[in-house]
């Protein structure tokens, strides 16, 4: 870890009691630029010929400053650079943002600092710089381990480049995760089994395995609508999901969330903050935040966000106070994604609502009778049979 201002896991530094007692805070920084637009992607990502990087750095720090003034007493446990493609940022920009965060908030010992990266050779060449900037975890968008699939997904790299970048990532960062997309057109159980087996052999501590979904207004949506893109049907997708669960569990990286798998203790602290309804601030175009019982959304379009920050000192487009029932619903929606489910004490501390009051007792009894919900260790959680039915279960569980 580079920065003298960011305490790392190897240090004996611990925060003063007043900070330790404060709320945990996760910080999300959105870098909205990509080299090209992938045909399945509905993220807030944009292709631009040139970027005023110094201007962006300054604006992101101003947006952070606005949030810091509203979250006094909180302690940062995670920083996440997402996008877009934040691995296209200069390492000096990443370093300046990390230093600004450390100057604006107390930073918890062992803070997790993740950067999403695409595995092209250009970006891999920057990894050492990101590590020196303080990034200690990288999430690599490999997406597939065969060239035909990468081409179909419109990715700007092939398998050889992807694996070379993975090697560089493993040499530079203590913690490495990568993403794969499955339920691709024509994918069979046997081909996914071989691909996932290979992926598990790379020895990373964390894997994000997403099913390909057709998002509105993407190129894939038009192809799908015109019958030129066929995905595996529901039954085949369910079989692929089950195989994924079995293989990752057998390899010691069981699912801790719908799409995320990790060795014990290697779960993404940042994503756990979302799923356990901790406070998080989100800066940069289109970023969402939840802090002190308010929801924030930043202006989506990069140029609009930048103009907003320059005019008002922040890029917020909308800020909404969340009432108690809404907080309860949101925390249920997030928490039931987790394999361990919802801890009632933490739920109440973070939402201000007792878990018992957020759910309908009669529906809960019925869902338990059907074997879809089963408390474990005091937590409310879905069973393996209930997990694929999350949305339907939620609709019934939420107290009316």
**Which chain residues interact with ligand SF4 by CB under 6 A?**
34, 37-38, 41, 43, 45, 83-85, 118, 141
Q: Please, what is the minimum distance in Å from the beta carbon of residue 203 to ligand SF4?
A: 24
Residue 374 neighbours by CB distance under 10 Å: 16
- Compute the CA torsion angle 300, 306, 307, 308 (nearest 10 deg): 60
Burial 327-364 (b: 16+ CB within 10 A, else e): bbbbbbbbbbbbbbbbbbebbbebbebebeebbeeebb
Report the residue number, 2 or 30, with the smaller CB distance to ligand SF4.
30
292: phi > 0 → left, psi -120 to 50 → alpha, else beta; which? left
Least spacing, CB of residue 41 vs ligand SF4, in Å: 3
Which is closer to ligand SF4, CB of 7 or CB of 119?
Answer: 119
Residues 153 and 130: beta-carbon distance below 8 Å: no
Smallest gap, in angstroms, from Cβ of residue 78 to ligand SF4? 20
Cβ closer to ligand SF4: 99 or 116? Answer: 116
Rounded Cα gap, residues 338 and 263, in angstroms: 15
Q: Which is nearer to ligand SF4, 71 or 114 (CB)?
A: 114
CB of 272 to ligand SF4, least distance (A): 22
Give the residue from 61, 127, 71 showing the smallest Cα distance to 98: 61
Shortest separation between residue 353's beta carbon and ligand SF4, angstroms: 34
- Name the minimum Å distance from CB 40 to ligand SF4: 7
Q: How far is the CB of 35 from ligand SF4 (least distance, A)?
A: 8
Q: Nearest approach, Cβ of 162 to ligand SF4 (angstroms)? A: 13
Q: Report the residue number, 87 or 299, with the smaller CB distance to ligand SF4.
A: 87
Tokens of 214: 């057709």
Least Cβ distance, residue 156 to ligand SF4 (angstroms): 7
- Least CB distance to ligand SF4 at residue 215 (A): 10
Compare residues 37 and 245 and give the one whose CB is closer to ligand SF4. 37
> Closer CB to ligand SF4, residue 156 or residue 254?
156
Torsion of CA 107, 175, 140, 99, to 10 degrees: 20
Indicate the residue among 141 and 282 with the shorter CB distance to ligand SF4. Answer: 141
Measured from the CB atom, is 155 or 314 closer to ligand SF4? 155
| Least distance from ligand SF4 to the Cβ atom of residue 87, Å | 10
Q: Compare residues 30 and 291 and give the one whose CB is closer to ligand SF4.
A: 30
Tell me whether residue 87 or residue 276 sits nearer to ligand SF4 (CB atom): 87
């Amino acid at each position: 870890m580079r920065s003298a201002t960011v305490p790392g896991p190897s240090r004996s530094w611990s925060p003063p009691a007043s900070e330790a007692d404060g709320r945990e805070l996760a910080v999300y920084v959105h870098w909205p630029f990509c080299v090209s637009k992938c045909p399945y992607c509905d993220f807030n990502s944009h292709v631009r010929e040139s970027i005023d990087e110094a201007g962006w750095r300054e604006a992101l720090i101003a947006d952070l400053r606005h949030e810091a003034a509203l979250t006094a007493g909180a302690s940062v446990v995670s920083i996440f650079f997402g996008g877009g493609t934040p691995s296209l940022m200069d390492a000096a920009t990443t370093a300046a943002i990390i230093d600004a965060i450390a100057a604006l908030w107390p930073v918890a010992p062992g803070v997790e600092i993740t950067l999403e990266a695409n595995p092209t050779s250009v970006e891999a060449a920057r990894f050492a710089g990101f590590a020196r900037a303080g990034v200690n975890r990288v999430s690599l968008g490999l997406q597939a381990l065969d060239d035909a699939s990468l081409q179909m997904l419109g990715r700007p790299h092939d398998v050889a480049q992807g694996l070379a970048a993975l090697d560089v990532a493993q040499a530079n960062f203590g913690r490495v995760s990568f993403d794969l997309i499955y339920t691709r057109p024509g994918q069979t159980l046997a081909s996914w089994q071989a691909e996932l087996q290979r992926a598990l052999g790379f020895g990373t501590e964390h894997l994000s395995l997403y099913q390909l979904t057709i998002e509105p207004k993407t190129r894939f949506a038009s192809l799908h609508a015109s019958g030129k893109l066929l995905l595996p049907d529901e039954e085949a997708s369910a079989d692929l999901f089950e195989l994924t669960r079995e293989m990752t569990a057998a390899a010691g990286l069981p699912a801790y969330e719908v799409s995320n798998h990790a060795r014990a203790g290697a779960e993404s602290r940042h994503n756990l903050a979302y799923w356990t309804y901790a406070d998080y601030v989100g800066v940069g175009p289109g970023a969402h935040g939840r802090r002190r019982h308010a929801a924030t959304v930043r202006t989506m379009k990069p140029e609009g966000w930048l103009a907003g920050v320059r005019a008002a000192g922040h890029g917020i487009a909308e800020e909404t106070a969340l009432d108690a029932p809404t907080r309860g619903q949101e925390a249920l929606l997030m928490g039931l994604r987790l394999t361990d489910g919802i801890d009632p004490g933490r739920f109440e501390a973070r939402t201000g609502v007792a878990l018992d009051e957020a759910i309908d007792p009669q529906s809960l009894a019925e869902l338990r009778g059907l074997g879809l919900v089963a408390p474990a260790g005091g937590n409310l959680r879905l069973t393996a049979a209930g997990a694929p039915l999350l949305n339907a279960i939620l609709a019934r569980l939420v107290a009316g």
